[in-house]
């Protein structure tokens, strides 16, 4: 773990940051370019599929006997990204948990505002259960908006009377769309990628006429009681740091088993840069050990 690695990544991300005044299609293209810059390793295979009528990307890793399933939700503040673009990060979790990963291509705003993403996430989970997969063999995982969506999906599944997965792993969760976290201000200069003004500009696309404080939009305000163990990780150099800390606190207050890990000096979803950042690989290893312990 070197300061040189962190400094290099910080410089790369500052060149790729999202200014608030650019068009959404430009932002989508910029994110696609950022996530596509690192090619998938040769042992990862991505296959198009569907669960519950929702498109998916099934991710398998050569040499891994998939005894479990990671149901994965990508980031992109609910308006960007897709299932295949998150294949590498999904695969890193799969290889550490003896699993295959199924990345969900939930519908994006503004074309499909809330509750489209929430509906698709629940439908995909129901589809996985209907295929005969035991909930004890499933973990949810997601980054950024996907990290918030996994919590909302577990709340939604609980309220629909569905059995819940064995555990869930949220990387830099975007859990409060009211942007009330103090680190929106205090970490603004330290965060090389995320900009509070850019986040604010995209919230109406997803929330539309709804209240951003609804529990299924901002799960930090949801009733979290009865949820399975939750593994939360974030970096100290991100404006969403408070989302992770407050989500962990609310989960613990609701008697949910929660593991919170904050890695110093690293940015939003730092695990995605595991190939060039030692801290990213270390965090994935730690999460893999925890998730494996919860799986049957």
Among 13, 12, 15, 22, smallest CA distance to 198 is for: 22
Task: Outline where the chain has alpha helix (H).
Answer: 3-15, 24-36, 87-96, 116-130, 145-159, 183-186, 196-207, 241-253, 278-294
- Are the C-beta atoms of 186 and 118 separated by less than 8 Å? no
Dist CA 184 CA 240 (whole Å): 7
* Omega prior to 110 cis, within 30 of 0: yes
Give the active site residue among 143, 238, 250, 279.
Answer: 238
Give the active site residue among 144, 218, 250, 279.
Answer: 144
Give the active site residue among 237, 268, 274, 279.
Answer: 268
68 included as an active-site residue: no
Angle at alpha carbon of residue 210, lines to 204 and 213, rounded to 5°: 90
25 included as an active-site residue: no
Whole-Å CA distances, 23 to 27, 177, 276: 6, 20, 30
DSSP 221: G
Torsion of CA 13, 15, 17, 21, to 10 degrees: 180
279 included as an active-site residue: no
* Catalytically annotated residues: 144, 238, 268
């Amino acid at each position: 773990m070197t300061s040189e690695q962190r400094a290099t990544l910080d410089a790369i991300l500052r060149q790729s940051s999202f200014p608030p005044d650019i068009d959404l299609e430009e932002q989508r293209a910029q994110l696609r370019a950022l996530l596509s810059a690192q090619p998938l390793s040769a042992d990862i295979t991505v296959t198009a599929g569907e669960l519950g009528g929702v498109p998916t990307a099934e991710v398998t890793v050569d040499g891994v006997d998939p005894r479990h399933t990671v149901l994965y939700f990508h980031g992109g503040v609910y308006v960007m990204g897709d299932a295949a673009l998150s294949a590498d990060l999904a695969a890193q979790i799969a290889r550490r948990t003896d699993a295959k990963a199924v990345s969900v291509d939930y519908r994006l705003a503004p074309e499909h505002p809330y509750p489209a993403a929430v509906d698709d996430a629940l439908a995909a989970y129901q589809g996985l259960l209907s295929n005969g997969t035991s909930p004890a063999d499933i973990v949810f995982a997601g980054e950024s908006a996907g990290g918030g969506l996994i919590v909302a999906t577990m709340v939604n599944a609980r309220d629909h009377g569905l059995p819940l997965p064995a555990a869930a792993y949220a990387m830099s969760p975007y859990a409060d769309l009211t942007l009330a976290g103090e680190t929106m201000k205090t970490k603004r200069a330290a965060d090389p990628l995320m900009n509070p003004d850019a986040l604010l500009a995209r919230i109406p696309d997803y929330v539309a006429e709804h209240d951003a404080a609804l529990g299924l939009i901002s799960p930090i305000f949801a009733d979290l009681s009865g949820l399975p163990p939750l593994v939360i990780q974030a970096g100290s150099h991100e404006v969403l740091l408070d989302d992770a800390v407050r989500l962990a606190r609310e989960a613990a207050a609701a008697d949910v088993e929660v593991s919170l890990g904050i890695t110093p000096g690293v940015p939003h979803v730092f695990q995605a840069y595991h190939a060039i950042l030692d801290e990213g690989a270390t965090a994935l290893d730690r999460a893999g050990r925890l998730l494996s312990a919860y799986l049957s």
